[in-house]
Structure 1
Amino acid sequence: MFLTVLLFAPLTLAQDRDSRLKQAYERLDIYIAREMKANGIPGLSLAVTDRKGLLRASAYGYADTKLKKPVTPETEFEIGSISKSFTAISLLQLSEEGKYDARQPITKYLPWFSIHSKYAPITGHEVMTHTAGLPRDRDDIPSSLYQAAGVRDRWTGYAPGQHFAYSNVGYQIMGYLFEEITQKPLGDTLRQRIFQPLGMNHSEAMFTHDTYERLATGYAPLYDDRPTGPSTPLIEATWLEYQAGDGSIVSTAADMAAYLRMLLNRGVGPNGRILSEQSFRLLTQRAIKETGDPEAGWYGYGIVSSIVDNHNDIAHDGGMVGYSSQMRGDLDSGLGVIALVNYPGGPGGVADYALKLLRAAYENQELPPLPEQELRTKVKNAADFAGTYTGPDGKKLILTAEGEKLLLAVGTDKIALENHGQDSFLVPHAEFALFPLSFGRENGKVVEAFHGGEWFIGERYSGPRNFSTPAEWASY
């Protein structure tokens, strides 16, 4: 009898886990359907994995809404800034070969790089951790190479290594640095040293016109001159070809799960190491906090590390024109999630909730309930904002709180405000369409409101009311 129990116990445990996973997936599918409807997401591709292999690949919605073409597990998406960790890994591979040192100045490897600065030379470590003081983008320049070269017109804002400031152009620079060292396109190396060893057969290092047919159609808001919400109409996003180190990879959720498995195995792929243990520790190092929030993650080299539910997690999000992505991995449990959408607003809480469900199923814990679906018009601290706010020209904003709703008087109507970030709201009315209505606090109390260039002061405001500005500011 004892022997029989030993023989069948593993099978029973596996059956129990499979049963819990089935329940988790059912709950996840309900949540995804709800989030897609609430946020107007056209299509979504999801993959969940453990260290050993793909657990599930699922697809939802449309790759092309006009043609009613469904998303399938083979549908490709632009992954955006998750590409940064691929660039970082390629550089760490060079470091293992003695060809690159992240602590050396950029100019050692990329002689044409320059930026106005009164501080020490910028190193690769500082660029990859977003602590170099570089601008976020040079979107006024269409070519990526010229964006990188155009940094020479800018000044660094602080000494390298002191502050976190996310920079896409920084990873473009690192891609060109890689190519300068190897005299090979970065894309070729990604294919040879990451995609192929991991079996990522539906991934490409750049998106071109040839890629377009395999991609889900990207969508963007109809309006580009105002804040948008779930009710904003979507149109097909502007199409562009792109190749650079900051975000040009195209992939499927299942391929990205293969990449995530390598990370969950600390650099080990199915056919051997992609990255040494030492390099993996550098990739996921806690170099700097992303924000001052105690809950904020630590940025390494294209990877964010954090503690979630007492587990060591790694993550990164991505966004391109018409696409968004999320990668979540739990280094302790060896579980991970990839979520890709053809929508600029992101997959919402899909990847985070999916990982919570996976953890619970694997650890034989009660599955977490569906997250509460909060109405956009639900303002828990609505009373904080109630009052009358007056502009310099006498124009008034009158806000009232009715339970957990914040209402703005517009003529004879009362418009319910919609959440748009901390102390910021959208007003669904033509008169207020171009800007959010935001509020300022003093000693915790709401004292002023802003709408575009308009300023309104509340009854509790005690600061200055007149300001002197340089005459040249009047030109802007």
Structure 2
Amino acid sequence: MNRGLCRCITAVWLAALALSSPAVANARPEAASGQASQGLMRQSAAQFWQVVTAKPEDRLALLQRYFSPGMRERNGDAGLLETFATLAEVLGSDMASSRPTEVLGGPREGELHYTLSDGRRVSLKITLAGDAAPLIEKFAVRPLPPKVTAVKPAQLPAAIDARIKAESRAGRFSGAVLVARGDELIHARAAGMADRQAGRANLIDTPFNLGSINKMFTAIAIAQLQAAGKLDWQDRVGRHLPDFPNAKIRDQVTIHQLLTHTSGVGSYWNEAHAARRHELDTQLGFLQTFVDQPLLFEPGAGLEYSNGGPVILGLIIEAISGMDYYSYIRKHIYEPAGMRWADHFRRDDRSAKFALGYMKTDAGSWQDNSQTLSLRGSAAGGGYASVRDLHAFARALKQERLLTRPQLETLWEARGQTGPIGYGYLFSVGGTPARRWVGHNGGAPGISAEFLFYPDDGLVIAVLANQDHAATAMREWLSALVEASLPARR
């Protein structure tokens, strides 16, 4: 798996399981007399996690041992191995020794629940085939909501603060957290080091690499130009980029498809990007790393999360506005929103005092991620902002300083669905009708970022971390606690 790939707010390991078979249906608690079948389910689940947590070179042999021929034929060994690599990266080594807290169903279909050391909860559903030595025929892995106890609103700051301190002490969190409702700041705290070598601490004003959160800003820029009558959602790329070097993209791909990841355009995480990443600081430079690649599918015929699509949108923004992408975003989004610490900083700009990202090495030590980054991020991600900036951005959305509410609702209309999460125009959409949220996340080596905005009651949850996967568990716990403790309001 290419660890540079930033995925949308749907849990990365849930999205990856589109390769796998459907989830087990109608799982029921098994009777007390079913200890034998429960034992079989536990054994098969242990074998599943053995494959996931194995060394990459050992996974294929274990796949052949524990999974049915039908499962492998339907999904392909390569696809299954990529899924296991994704699960291993996101869940870490916890699953190698984790025991289920609950086992439902049986004897051939079951669901097992697990709790990770950082508080995340995971469900594994499996179906077995064969008699003498049952093999895994189907599986599905999904996140479960964290278990939280509601507190009184006045107790929220102390509860959040205690969680941040505990996760930081355990080495699972380095970054900054902010929770607010409208203009009211409920709690904000930073933890860990922005630069471990220099001894510089993270602050709530520290800019962190946002990863794919920047896609929201690209969507707003496109919507601003659409509102000004300078483009239409169904325009083809060639209308604004008549000299675009890939004829199929130029003549067939629409702005709508680029915004919804349905264009067939892939990503720039490839050998060309790796060879040039230390010089990449323009949208054109990023385009050159992937523009010659064939489309993944016919435009509009599929859905595949893309980092190449937003780069093309960035070029359209430049062509229409006459400004480079970074200047447009700064002038039309960051400045009017009051995002004082936000920008697409170059990787070598130490005067910006952004947090360096840290990734875990195979030896278990922390290494900064500078050498994995492009010289500058793109319209698909890699800009920087602080948690204060994201609060300012949310307030600007609520106060309609960037777009009107009807224009924003166009971006927030779910046009595709992956599990419980919808995807609009470069915004993720979730929650319930009574309490919906919009937002995005970002992730790459040393980068972990989460942003949720509840547009109907003004809640904001921003978690920015400068170490692998550190923001996800914190954001999941925060959103569960805040939703349980604060009644929804309109």
Q: TM-score range by the shorter chain?
A: 0.5 to 0.7
- Does the aligned pair in 1 maintain the 2:390–2:462 contact within 8 Å? yes
| Match runs of 1:50-69 below 5 Å | 50-69=181-200
- 1:339–1:154 distance in 2 versus 1, CA, 3 Å: same
- 1:112–1:324 distance in 2 versus 1, CA, 3 Å: farther
Give yes or no for the alignment of 1:283 onto 2:406: no
Say which SS state the counterpart of residue 345 (structure 2) adopts.
coil
Say which SS state the counterpart of residue 177 (structure 1) adopts.
helix
RMSD across aligned C-alpha pairs, in angstroms?
2.7
Return the letter of the residue paired with 1:344: D
Give yes or no for the alignment of 1:20 onto 2:152: yes
Indicate the residue corresponding to 1:233 in structure 2: 365
* Correspondent of 1:128 among 259, 266, 269: 259
- 1:114–1:151 distance in 2 versus 1, CA, 3 Å: farther
Q: 1:44, 1:215 → 2: CA distance? A: 11
Return the letter of the residue paired with 1:327: F
Percentage identity across paired residues of the two chains = 25
- 1:154–1:67 distance in 2 versus 1, CA, 3 Å: closer
Indicate the residue corresponding to 1:388 in structure 2: none
Aligned-pair CA distance for 1:47: 1.2
Indicate the residue corresponding to 1:145 in structure 2: 284
* Correspondent of 1:104 among 235, 238, 259: 235
Give yes or no for the alignment of 1:77 onto 2:208: yes
Say which SS state the counterpart of residue 90 (structure 1) adopts.
helix
Number of corresponding residues: 329
Indicate the residue corresponding to 1:214 in structure 2: 353
**TM-score (structure 1 length as normaliser):** 0.63
Give yes or no for the alignment of 1:31 onto 2:163: yes
Aligned-pair CA distance for 1:155: 1.9
- Does the aligned pair in 2 maintain the 1:314–1:330 contact within 8 Å? yes
Return the letter of the residue paired with 2:370: T
Q: 2:291, 2:442 → 1: CA distance? A: 27
Write out per-residue CA displacement over residues 289-344 of structure 1, whole angstroms, 9 at most, x where no aligned residue: 1x3x3x2x111122101125952111210124522210012233321100001112
User: Where is the helix percentage greater, Structure 1 or Structure 2?
Assistant: 2
**TM-score (structure 2 length as normaliser):** 0.62
- Does the aligned pair in 2 maintain the 1:79–1:340 contact within 8 Å? yes
Return the letter of the residue paired with 2:194: A
Indicate the residue corresponding to 2:383 in structure 1: 249
- 1:120–1:234 distance in 2 versus 1, CA, 3 Å: same
Aligned-pair CA distance for 1:171: 0.7
Q: Which ranges of structure 2 fall in alignment gaps of 5 or more residues?
A: 1-150
Give yes or no for the alignment of 1:274 onto 2:408: no
Q: 2:351, 2:229 → 1: CA distance? A: 38
* Correspondent of 2:309 among 155, 164, 170: 170
Q: Which ranges of structure 1 fall in alignment gaps of 5 or more residues?
A: 1-18, 224-230, 366-476
Q: 2:289, 2:189 → 1: CA distance? A: 42
Aligned-pair CA distance for 1:25: 2.4
Q: 2:247, 2:271 → 1: CA distance? A: 19
- Does the aligned pair in 1 maintain the 2:255–2:313 contact within 8 Å? yes
- 1:364–1:308 distance in 2 versus 1, CA, 3 Å: closer
Say which SS state the counterpart of residue 30 (structure 1) adopts.
helix
- Does the aligned pair in 2 maintain the 1:120–1:159 contact within 8 Å? no
- Does the aligned pair in 2 maintain the 1:207–1:250 contact within 8 Å? no
- Does the aligned pair in 1 maintain the 2:286–2:378 contact within 8 Å? no
- Does the aligned pair in 2 maintain the 1:324–1:342 contact within 8 Å? yes
Indicate the residue corresponding to 1:361 in structure 2: 485
Indicate the residue corresponding to 1:332 in structure 2: 456
Indicate the residue corresponding to 1:443 in structure 2: none
- Which one has a bigger Cα radius of gyration? 1
* Correspondent of 2:175 among 16, 32, 44: 44
